[in-house]
Amino acid sequence: MKARAGAAFLMTLALPMTALAQSATPLVVVPAGEMKWADLGPGAPGVRIANLWGNYATGAFGALIRLPAGFAAPLHTHSHDMKVVILSGTYVQAPEGKPEFRLGHGSYFQQPGGKYRHTTSCDKAAECVFFVESNGAFDLLPAEASKPATR
């Protein structure tokens, strides 16, 4: 009886291992020199993107983005939350009405989608490269600057 119970216990441990060994997820390896970079598009001159998984134009994705040194995007928002890791250069973001923050390689930030208005730029000393992950398509929605209150 104990032997059967022990065998049943071992079988329950083996099932998850078997499932892991039979994963349908393929190994994906892309050396830096083989990364496929593309222009991000109008409104972002010189900005390049390399899709890693998903599709940044249509839905959830993970990608590398490269901003040229000195690049600056005006006040804008994005529709979806983004998680960002800076890989090189000095990334600069200025949330509307708040001080800018400057992030170098190894830095991380998460920004909300929707009404989070900010500018984005790259320090002029070197291009900026960062990893971005989002649960929805990438967009850049220009925002009108807030007008000062009148009396």
CATH code, domain carrying 53: 2.60.120.10
- Percentage with pLDDT > 70 across the chain: 81
Identify any residues that bridge with 130 across adjacent strands, giving them in sequence order.
65, 86
What pLDDT score does 10 carry? 45
C-alpha–C-alpha distance, residues 3 and 22, integer Å? 28
Q: Which domain holds residue 113?
A: 32-142
pLDDT at 71 over 90: yes
The reply to whether 23 falls in a domain is no
Q: How many domains does the chain contain in total?
A: 1
How confident is the model over 35-61, as pLDDT tens digits? 999 999 887 889 999 999 999 999 999
pLDDT at 31 over 50: yes
